Amino acid sequence: MKLPVKDADYRLLYDIFGNGKVLVTAEYRPDPGATMPLMPRVGMTLAVPQRYNQVRWYGRGPHSSYSDRKTGAEIGLYRNSVDGMVFPYVRPQDNGNRTDTRWFSVTDERGHGLRIAAVDKPLSFSTWPYTVEDLRQADHDYELPRRPFNTIFVDHKLHGVGGDNSWGARTHPQYTLPGNRPYTLKFVIEPVR
């Protein structure tokens, strides 16, 4: 595929196995000579029915963490609900990310659903009961609708939070995602029964 920003190449490959597992490989390859903006995240988004609302993960937790805000979140095995994974900021914004995740699952009350596992290196993920567009349109958290599905983000990485001071310091370069660099995300999706 060609992305609309400077004709960057994007390759998405699904390897489907007889045991029900799907290996997903997403590759972003920009023109190295092009001037590209910083990217907010590198990953994929999917939706599952609302009944899949139980989340378990092996990674940093129990609270949210970002590449430049994760030392207070220890690696362990955690669980929460989709609604419990989000943080109700007064002004809606990206929230609920979990870093250094080896695997996570989203299941119904009976334990049926999906398990997503990192392949080459840990990934970041988040789950929301609304969409990115809902977040963009809301001025306050109470304006966010509860959708009949849950949004799942599977990310190679997210741009850091930044703000080392109270007046808007930029994110340190090592926690940004330059748009002129290649990125690869690999993960396995498998059913949980």
CATH of segment(s) 37-178: 2.70.98.10
Residues of the chain with pLDDT under 70: 166-167
**Residue 21: what pLDDT?**
97
Report the DSSP beta bridge partners of residue 60.
Answer: 75
Q: Where are the domains of the chain?
A: 37-178
**Residue 51: what pLDDT?**
97
Q: Which backbone phi and psi does 178 adopt, to 5 degrees?
A: -60, 135
Taking the complete model, does pTM exceed 0.85, yes or no? yes
Tokens (6 digits) for 96: 């609920």
> What's CA 39's distance to the chain center, in Å?
13
**Residue 56: what pLDDT?**
98
**Helix (H/G/I), strand (E/B), else coil: 84:** helix
Question: How far, CA to CA in Å, does 168 sit from each of 161, 165, 171?
Answer: 11, 6, 9
Q: Which residues contact 84 (CB under 8 A, 6 or more apart)?
A: none
Report the DSSP beta bridge partners of residue 44.
Answer: 154
Nearest to 21 by CA among 192, 189, 193: 189
Percent of the chain with pLDDT over 70: 99
